[in-house]
Amino acid sequence: MSHEDCIFCKIINGELPSAKVYEDEKVYAFLDISQVTKGHTLIVPKTHTKNIYETPADVAGALFERVPKVANAIKAAYNPLGLNLINNNEAAAEQSVFHLHIHLIPRYGEGDGYT
Ligand code: 5GP
Ligand code: ZN
C-alpha cells in the first residue's frame, strides 16, 4: 500500500529516481540523497507506514530481518571501519520523511564527517 504524497513511496514505485542498493518483495534500500558519510543508505518497507509507532510487527520484522544483508553489501562495497543504524521517529526526534526508514551510516574513523 503506497501513500500518494510520500516521497519514499514514489521512490519505491519508481516515480522518483534513486540509487538502489538492495530490493526484494518486502523492502527497498537506496543511497541517501544527502550522504552523511560515503555509502549512507536507507532501508524502507515497501508498505507505507509512518514510523515505528504505527508499524505492524510483521512489517518491522521483515525490515530488520534484511538489515544484516544490506549492512554486509555496504561493507563489501565501501569497506568502512564500522556502521551506525539510526531510526528517527517523529519531528522531535528529527524524522523528516514520514515513511519508516533505517539509516545505515558507514563509519571511517575520526573525521569521517558524522557527528
Ligand atoms: P530522517 O530525517 O527522516 O530520519 O531521514 C530522511 C532522510 O531522507 C534524510 O537523510 C534525507 O537526506 C533523505 N532524503 C530526503 N529526500 C530524499 C530523496 O528524495 N531521495 C533520497 N535518496 N533521500 C532522500
Ligand atoms: Zn510511503
CA-closest residue to ligand 1 atom 20: 33
CA distances in angstroms from 88 to 42, 48, 109, listed in the order given: 12, 16, 23
Domain with residues 7-107, CATH architecture? 2-Layer Sandwich (3.30)
Ion ligand 2: protein residues whose beta carbon lies under 5 Å: 3, 6, 8-9, 48, 99
Q: What is the pLDDT of residue 64?
A: 98
- Ligand 1 pocket: which residues have CB below 6 Å? 7, 16, 18, 30-34, 42, 88, 94-97
Tell me the catalytic residues: 101
Domain boundaries, the chain: 7-107
**Please, which pLDDT band fits residue 3 given cuts at 50, 70 and 90?**
confident
Q: What is the pTM of this model?
A: 0.97
Tens digit of each residue's pLDDT (9 = 90 or more) over 68-97:
999 999 999 999 999 999 999 999 999 999
Phi, psi torsion values for 71, nearest 5 degrees = -60, -40
